A and B are shown apart, each in its own frame.
Chain A
Amino acid sequence: MLYVESADKTYPNGTRALAGLNLEVEEGEIVAVVGGSGCGKSTFLRLAAGLDQPTRGRIRLDGETITKPDPRVGIVFQEPRLLPWLTVEQNVGFGLADRPRAERERLVREVLERVGLQNYAHCWPRELSGGQAQRVAIARALAPHPKVLLLDEPFSALDAFTRASLHEHLLSLWHAFRPTLVLVTHDVEEASVLADRVLVMQPNPGRIAASIDVDLARPRDRYGSEIEAMRRRILWALDKSLRRESGEDLSPAAAI
């Protein structure tokens, strides 16, 4: 279980990026976080990754407070951030340096097969397309089998076809490893196709405006009417959250 307990984050320049964020994410759950810019969604991920500290409140994973990067938490950024001097294989094994060689090789092979890049193990990052590079980045984050995988708009720089293909890859990885996924995204369709639950956040200060359960069976048809309806519902909540002045009634129930 990932608990966020009234997490506040105020940056030194005075921006209040998060105000009393409360959240529970169950093990193996897929949560998508959507919201306009400045709503604190990336800040939330950085706190959960242990890259930043909350000003107040705390984030706990299985009872332990996260204060620094944790081996049980993996993160994928918007850019692949592969190390250009390492081959695909070495990049994927980057977080496994302390494991015995045989185990490292096994973990790397396993996850590379899952993302369909076993034939690219010895390629340099410069030889990959954007979608392949991001698949390597996901493989690198998942290779040590983290309990939680955080994704910060990981597909936003890709074209629609590549993005759809990566959604499938991500779901197949999720089926195999069952990590908890927290996905920050701008793309409402992506949220409806992937998530069990969609959190709509609003800015000034950053907080949750609405929580929408997506109880649709998988595999989901991204062109089907159910996804379309869900998409509208999320968009409507987003729209409302952006229009509402701060200081009004903010309970998630009222927002839906």
Chain B
Amino acid sequence: MTTIERFENPGEARDSRLVSATHPTSDKKPKRNAERFLLGIALPILLGLGWEIAVRAGIAQGRLMPPPSRIFQTLYSLAVTGELFIHIGATLGRVGAGFALGVIGGTLVGAIAGASRLSREFLDPSLQGLRSVPSIAWVPLFILWLGIFEESKIALIAVGCFFPIYLGVLGAIQSVDRKTVEVGRVFRLTTTQLVRRILLPAILPAYVVALRQGLGLGWMFVVAAEFMGASEGLGYLLIDGQQLGKPDQIIAAIVTFAILGKITDGLIASGTAPFLTWQDAYAPKH
């Protein structure tokens, strides 16, 4: 046993340093986050201030590119009448419904295709073929099939979300390490146990990335969907602003899109972060 001690002690000292280095002390972390937040927001604030000053000083006109104060004014007046929230609600509802359908479909089909070589070779070529169709190309068909109201819009968003999630799930299943699965075999796991104790946790990191990509595309396609004729929604605000020559309303809608997109992405990231603390490369984004 003396040999063990002789070899162990220097190692133990080294390793305890290693362990403490990977757990940053709690008072340091928020400071770093605040610093990063301020740094990241500095550029848009500087640009906005510069433009505001330029317009007020009369250097620029600000008719087609209104200064921040006018944009916030527009946002504010839309908010006090409650109009803004009706539009946000409509858009969020469409993205939510389309994303939910896309996630369910993409996850199920991805899991089926990943379950065996046979099912993959049966399904994947057709899906890859469909994937290369630009999603907007479905619009006329969806309108014919589902009408010009909510159903066709949600269908378009769902198609947009489906593919990144399908690909993410299939790719994640295919890249699960055979050696890790063998550990499950050694401990005589049943198929259900293998899925629950090894496959699902192994897939989770890639699945989160796929969800975030899918949601990003969902936000992209909701604009396309709302362009095809809507009476409310942030996409409607864009079209309305263009037709009535109100650039401040267009930019106000764009800003709202940016904020909502960032918030919903952050919700997925922070909602799944507790399950991914084990990851070597995982660095929380928020």
- A164 contacts which of B7, B183, B280 (Cβ < 8 Å)? B7
Distance of A153 Cα from B106 Cα, bound (Å): 42
B185 at the interface (CB under 8 A from A): yes
Q: Count residues of A near B (Cβ-Cβ below 8 Å).
A: 35
Distance of A83 Cα from B189 Cα, bound (Å): 14
Chain B positions 154 through 190: 1 when the CB is less than 8 Å from some CB of chain A, otherwise 0: 0000000000000000000000000110110111100
Which of B8, B18, B182, B187 has the most A CB atoms < 10 Å from its CB?
B187
Residues in A146-192 with C-beta less than 8 Å from chain B: 161-162, 164-165, 168-169, 172
Distance of A128 Cα from B280 Cα, bound (Å): 12
Taking a contact as CB atoms under 8 Å apart, the answer to whether A75 and B7 are in contact is no
A241 / chain B contacts, CB cutoff of 8 Å: none
Whether A168 contacts B3 in the complex (CB less than 8 A), given A69-B186, A69-B188, A84-B279, comes out as yes
A97 / chain B contacts, CB cutoff of 8 Å: 193, 197
A127 at the interface (CB under 8 A from B): yes
Chain B positions 246 through 286: 1 when the CB is less than 8 Å from some CB of chain A, otherwise 0: 00000000000000000000000000000001111000000
B-side interface mostly: helix
Whether A165 contacts B179 in the complex (CB less than 8 A), given A123-B19, A126-B280, A127-B22, comes out as no
B179 / chain A contacts, CB cutoff of 8 Å: 77, 79, 81
B4 at the interface (CB under 8 A from A): yes
- A51 contacts which of B1, B182, B193 (Cβ < 8 Å)? B182
Taking a contact as CB atoms under 8 Å apart, the answer to whether B280 and A84 are in contact is yes
B134 at the interface (CB under 8 A from A): no
B11 at the interface (CB under 8 A from A): yes
Taking a contact as CB atoms under 8 Å apart, the answer to whether B186 and A75 are in contact is yes
Distance of A49 Cα from B201 Cα, bound (Å): 25
Nearest Cβ on chain B to A128's Cβ, whole angstroms: 8
A129 at the interface (CB under 8 A from B): yes
Taking a contact as CB atoms under 8 Å apart, the answer to whether B183 and A83 are in contact is yes
- B4 contacts which of A120, A132, A165 (Cβ < 8 Å)? A165
Taking a contact as CB atoms under 8 Å apart, the answer to whether A51 and B280 are in contact is no
Whether A165 contacts B7 in the complex (CB less than 8 A), given A69-B186, A71-B188, comes out as yes
B121 at the interface (CB under 8 A from A): no
B198 at the interface (CB under 8 A from A): yes
A116 at the interface (CB under 8 A from B): yes
Taking a contact as CB atoms under 8 Å apart, the answer to whether B278 and A126 are in contact is yes
Taking a contact as CB atoms under 8 Å apart, the answer to whether A129 and B11 are in contact is yes
Nearest Cβ on chain A to B107's Cβ, whole angstroms: 19
Taking a contact as CB atoms under 8 Å apart, the answer to whether A132 and B15 are in contact is yes
- Chain B: which residue is nearest A163 at the CB level? B7
B22 / chain A contacts, CB cutoff of 8 Å: 126-127
Taking a contact as CB atoms under 8 Å apart, the answer to whether B3 and A164 are in contact is yes
Nearest Cβ on chain B to A219's Cβ, whole angstroms: 8
- Chain A: which residue is nearest B189 at the CB level? A97
Chain A positions 103 through 141: 1 when the CB is less than 8 Å from some CB of chain B, otherwise 0: 000000000000010001001111111011000000000
Taking a contact as CB atoms under 8 Å apart, the answer to whether B180 and A81 are in contact is yes
- A95 contacts which of B19, B187, B201 (Cβ < 8 Å)? B187
- B11 contacts which of A74, A81, A131 (Cβ < 8 Å)? A131
Whether A124 contacts B185 in the complex (CB less than 8 A), given A83-B180, A131-B11, A165-B3, comes out as no
B11 / chain A contacts, CB cutoff of 8 Å: 129, 131-132, 162, 165
Nearest Cβ on chain A to B259's Cβ, whole angstroms: 33
Which of A95, A131, A164, A168 has the most B CB atoms < 10 Å from its CB?
A168
Taking a contact as CB atoms under 8 Å apart, the answer to whether A169 and B280 are in contact is no
Distance of A164 Cα from B197 Cα, bound (Å): 34
B7 / chain A contacts, CB cutoff of 8 Å: 161-162, 164-165, 168
Taking a contact as CB atoms under 8 Å apart, the answer to whether A127 and B18 are in contact is yes
Chain A positions 86 through 101: 1 when the CB is less than 8 Å from some CB of chain B, otherwise 0: 1000000011010000
Distance of A162 Cα from B19 Cα, bound (Å): 19
Nearest Cβ on chain A to B190's Cβ, whole angstroms: 11
- A168 contacts which of B4, B180, B202 (Cβ < 8 Å)? B4
Nearest Cβ on chain B to A145's Cβ, whole angstroms: 14
Nearest 5 interchain pairs by C-beta: A165-B7, A95-B187, A85-B201, A126-B280, A85-B278
| Cross-chain pairs A/B with CB under 8 angstroms, 13 sampled | A51-B182, A51-B185, A69-B187, A75-B186, A85-B202, A94-B183, A95-B186, A116-B4, A125-B278, A128-B15, A165-B7, A169-B4, A172-B1
- Interface, chain B (partner A; CB < 8 A): 1, 3-4, 7-8, 11, 14-15, 18-19, 22, 179-180, 182-183, 185-188, 193, 197-198, 201-202, 204, 277-280
